[in-house]
């Protein structure tokens, strides 16, 4: 599987955020996005997920499911957790497993150390626990591309380790990970993509 990005241009609110951005990655590799605030890391991830249309250029996933869009083959973890406060941890995951298609809830709970909390309503979780529940989606439903926007926010050291293990496992199993992060995730990424504030890359 190969993800190719060619001459991508992003315009937000009348400004060119980045332009002529190209890179390619193969399955079993990870890309770390770096750059100052406003350099378009989040915009790039949202564009890959299909939320923002590209002003120019193209994104292509080779060897994936040709029937499905790239968005349907990726996990996007943004600033929000996508957790329903009125549902329990278990019910949150059960819905995603049903809606996104398949998945082993027990192992997802285990991967992010949530087993002991599984019957607690998500509204009672601490910020770090809610983040872990948001991340548990990654382990729950198998999708080849992971788009992570500051995934380690509000995680403590132990939870960060769980995240880096999950990322490493996914890469070793032939997945692709693109992550934007300020704090080091403790994962060896094969490439780093630097985005500058000036819109060049």
Closest approach of other proteins to the CB of residue 36, in Å? 9
Considering only residues 100, 110, 120, 153, which one is a binding residue for other proteins as defined by CB under 8 A? 100
Q: Does 16 bind other proteins (CB under 8 A)?
A: yes
Farthest CA pair distance, the chain: 48
Interior CA angle at 75 toward 148 and 152, to 5°? 30
Q: Does 146 bind other proteins (CB under 8 A)?
A: no
Q: Does 144 bind other proteins (CB under 8 A)?
A: no
Subset of 117-136 contacting other proteins (CB under 8 A): 134
Q: Does 81 bind other proteins (CB under 8 A)?
A: yes
- Distance between CA atoms of residues 88 and 85, nearest Å: 7
- Distance between CA atoms of residues 145 and 130, nearest Å: 22
Considering only residues 8, 21, 49, 138, which one is a binding residue for other proteins as defined by CB under 8 A? 49
Closest approach of other proteins to the CB of residue 188, in Å? 27
Closest approach of other proteins to the CB of residue 193, in Å? 20
Q: Does 66 bind other proteins (CB under 8 A)?
A: no
- Distance between CA atoms of residues 111 and 132, nearest Å: 9
Q: Of 99-107, 111-119, 153-161, 187-195, which part binds other proteins (CB under 8 A)?
A: 99-107
Using CB under 8 A as the criterion, which residues of the chain lie in contact with other proteins when the complex forms?
9, 11, 13-16, 19, 49-52, 68, 71-72, 74-76, 78-87, 91, 95-96, 98-101, 134, 137, 197-199
């Amino acid at each position: 599987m190969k993800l190719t990005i060619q001459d991508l241009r992003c315009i937000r609110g009348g400004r060119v955020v980045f332009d002529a951005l190209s890179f390619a990655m193969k399955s079993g590799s990870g890309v770390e996005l770096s750059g100052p605030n406003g350099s378009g890391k989040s915009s790039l991830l949202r564009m890959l997920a299909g939320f923002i249309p590209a002003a120019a250029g193209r994104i292509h996933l080779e060897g994936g499911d040709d029937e499905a869009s790239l968005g349907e083959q990726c996990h996007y973890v943004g600033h929000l957790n996508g957790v329903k406060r009125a549902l329990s941890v278990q019910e949150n995951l059960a819905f995603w497993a049903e809606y996104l298609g398949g998945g082993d809830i027990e192992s997802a709970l285990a991967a992010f150390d949530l087993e002991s909390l599984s019957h607690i309503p998500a509204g009672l979780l601490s910020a770090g626990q809610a983040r872990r529940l948001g991340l548990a989606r990654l382990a729950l439903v198998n999708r080849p591309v992971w788009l992570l926007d500051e995934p380690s926010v509000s995680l403590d050291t132990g939870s960060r380790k769980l995240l880096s293990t999950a990322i490493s496992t996914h890469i070793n199993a032939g997945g692709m990970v693109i992550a934007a992060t300020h704090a080091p995730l403790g994962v060896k990424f094969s490439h780093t993509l630097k985005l500058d504030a000036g819109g060049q890359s």
